[in-house]
């Protein structure tokens, strides 16, 4: 495992170009060409490393920030789709990212990649579960890892606010957090009401947003 | 042999319909999964179910790996594979076609409005998700502190997440040793 991880860590970030002269190519909205093997390897790596959950945080970091396979807004659109549609959020997002990059083979590569590692590791852990429980401090260690993993997850939300949320969008954001996060109203009806409202607001304010909303 | 086939079919018949209902992830169908496997089919005892749940949380990967573990417990490696695919395939097909429709409008003013409109919704769901997980975990002040510090570090410093996760684990154990509290 280690050679792979380091290979990824050392990979030059060739796509992370955002000087003004490059906006023409980026604005064309076309993701870079990525091999199926690279998609599989990235998702496999994330699947194996995602102790304590927080997979969406890993995905955002690798797909948007480090590799620039997708733009920020593109990723968030996929994320909303992935959460609102039935299915495991991360495999849904994997299908979205994979298919954006390479169509249905890309989607397959992403899903198989993200699940194959945990599939084997989970069953392996189930086999030695009784022994793990006996180690003093092991449950506490895992709780600490899990708490930090939620932090990884939330950091995506904080970064997204800084980059994408302006003006009226804060009202929608706060409404979602209060209703779904704090009051625990079921997510689907809330999204079914607020998402169309938010899109309508975006539509009617589209002229004002032009020119200044270049998040890249 | 025939018996094994029956169990594999039972796994498909249990998880494939739930796949369509799993909005927000496997967590939203956890209640019917628990009821069917423990009470109706009696494949697992209550204690076994809780153990498998704990393992699925501790291991890497999505929480839905609980489904894989149930399949494994019930019918070995084939059971694990069949249960996973039954949970995965139906909803994935739906999502794949939704993504296709979604991408068809790419580049239009409508699509730009969709993205700008959904940005606060997606961001709000991330934050809500973090709140929900922390609440469900029943973490004490040690857990909440680790969570808050990890969030800040991962937002404003470029540290590899694995380092932050491992530090979280170490701090949690240290707190146990020092304060004798969880």
Q: Which of B26, B59, B139, B163 to mutate to test the interface with A (most CBs of A within 10 A)?
A: B59
Looking at chain A, the whole-number percentage of residues with pLDDT higher than 70 is 82
**Lowest-confidence region among A46-55, A195-204, B80-89, B92-101:** A46-55
User: In whole numbers, what is the pLDDT of chain B averaged over residues?
Assistant: 86
- Comparing C-alpha atoms, which of B117, B120, B135, B149 is closest to residue A177? B120
Quick check: B134 pLDDT over 50? yes
Give the one of B80, B116, B172 whose C-beta lies nearest to A143's C-beta. B172
Q: What is the mean pLDDT of residues A91-111?
A: 94
What is the C-alpha separation between A69 and A75, in angstroms, rounded? Answer: 9
Query: Chain A: nearest CA to B61, how far in angstroms?
Result: 5
How large is the C-alpha radius of gyration of chain B? 20
Check residue A117 and give its pLDDT: 95
Q: How much is the mean pLDDT over chain A?
A: 81
Give the pLDDT of residue A5: 40
pLDDT given at position A93: 93
CB-based contact, B94 to chain A, within 8 Å = yes
pLDDT value, residue A19 = 40
pLDDT of residue A21: 38
Handedness of CA A25, A29, A31, A33 (dihedral sign): negative
Q: Please give the average per-residue pLDDT across B125-131, as a whole number.
A: 84
Name the pLDDT band for B146 (thresholds 50, 70, 90): very high
* ipTM confidence: 0.81
Residue B175 burial (CB count, 10 A): 20
Q: Which residues of B touch A65 (CB under 8 A)?
A: none
The pLDDT of residue B89: 94
Report whether pLDDT(A215) > 90: no
Residue A210: its pLDDT value, please?
A: 58
Q: Establish how many alpha carbons lie within 13 A of residue B82's alpha carbon, considering only the half-sphere containing its beta carbon.
A: 20
- Per-residue pLDDT at A13: 40
Judge whether residue A64 has pLDDT over 90: yes
Q: Which two tokens stand for residue A172?
A: 């929608």
A chain contacts of residue B143, beta-carbon cutoff 8 Å: 143-144, 146-147
pLDDT, position A43: 96
- Determine the pLDDT at residue B24: 65
Residue with tokens 């539509």: A203
Examine the pLDDT at B133 and tell me if it is beyond 80: no
Q: CA-to-CA distance for A23 and A211, rounded, in angstroms?
A: 12
Residue of A nearest to B145 (CA): A147
Q: Is B162 on the interface with A (CB under 8 A)?
A: yes
pLDDT (tens digit per residue) in B22-53: 776 676 677 788 888 988 999 998 888 878 87
Beta bridge partners of B23: A86
pLDDT band at B114 (very low <50, low <70, confident <90, very high): confident
Q: Structure tokens of A118? A: 């945990």
Distance CA A51, CA B60 (A): 4
Mean pLDDT of B108-130: 85
> How many beta-carbon pairs under 8 angstroms link A with B?
360
d(CA B35, CA A15): 48
pLDDT of residue A209: 63
Distances (CA, A) of A24 to A17, A27, A66: 12, 5, 20
Long-range contacts made by residues B52-59, C-beta under 8 angstroms, separation at least 24?
B52/A126, B55/A122, B55/A125, B55/A126, B55/A129, B56/A122, B57/A52, B57/A53, B57/A142, B57/A146, B58/A51, B58/A52, B58/A125, B58/A142, B58/A146, B59/A51, B59/A118, B59/A121, B59/A122, B59/A125
Q: Do A147 and B25 touch (CB under 8 A)?
A: no
Query: b or e along A88-99 (b: 16 or more beta carbons within 10 Å of the residue's beta carbon)?
Result: bbbbbbbbbbbb
**pLDDT tens readout for residues A9-53:** 444 444 444 444 343 344 446 788 999 999 999 999 999 988 777
pLDDT of residue B173 exceeding 80, the answer is yes
């Amino acid at each position: 495992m280690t050679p792979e991880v380091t290979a990824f860590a050392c990979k030059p970030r060739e796509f992370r170009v955002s000087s003004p002269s490059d906006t023409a190519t980026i604005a064309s909205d076309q993701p870079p060409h990525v091999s199926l093997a690279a998609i599989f390897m990235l998702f496999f790596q994330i699947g194996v490393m995602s102790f304590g959950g927080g997979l969406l945080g890993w995905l955002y970091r690798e797909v948007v920030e480090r590799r620039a396979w997708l733009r920020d807004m593109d990723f968030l659109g996929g994320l909303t789709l992935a959460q609102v549609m039935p299915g495991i959020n991360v495999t849904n997002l994997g299908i979205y990212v994979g298919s954006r990059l390479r169509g249905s083979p890309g989607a397959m590569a992403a899903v198989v990649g993200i699940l194959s590692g945990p599939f084997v590791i989970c069953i392996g852990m189930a086999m030695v579960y009784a022994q793990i429980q006996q180690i003093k401090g092991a449950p506490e260690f895992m709780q600490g890892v899990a708490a930090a993993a939620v932090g990884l997850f939330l950091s995506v939300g904080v970064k997204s606010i800084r980059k994408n949320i302006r003006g009226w969008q804060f009202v929608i954001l706060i409404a979602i957090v209060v209703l779904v996060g704090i009051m625990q109203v079921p997510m689907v009806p809330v999204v079914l009401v607020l998402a169309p409202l938010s899109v309508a607001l975006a539509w009617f304010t589209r002229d004002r947003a032009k020119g200044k909303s270049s998040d890249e | 042999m025939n018996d094994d086939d029956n169990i594999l079919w039972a796994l498909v018949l249990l998880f494939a319909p739930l796949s369509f209902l799993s909005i927000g992830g496997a967590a939203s169908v956890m209640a019917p999964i628990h009821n069917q496997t423990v009470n109706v089919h009696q494949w697992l005892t209550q204690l076994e179910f809780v153990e498998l749940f704990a393992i699925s949380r501790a291991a890497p990967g999505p929480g839905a790996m609980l489904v894989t573990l149930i399949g494994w417990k019930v019918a070995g490696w084939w059971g694990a594979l069949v249960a996973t695919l039954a949970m995965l395939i139906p909803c994935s097909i739906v999502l794949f076609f939704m993504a296709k429709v979604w991408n068809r409008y790419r580049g239009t003013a409508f699509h730009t409005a969709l993205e700008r409109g959904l940005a606060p919704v997606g961001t709000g769901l991330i934050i809500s998700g973090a709140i929900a997980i922390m609440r469900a975990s029943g973490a004490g002040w040690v857990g909440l502190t680790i969570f808050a510090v990890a969030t800040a570090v991962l937002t404003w410093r470029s540290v590899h997440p694995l380092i932050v996760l491992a530090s979280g684990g170490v701090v949690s154990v240290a707190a146990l040793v020092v304060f004798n509290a969880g």
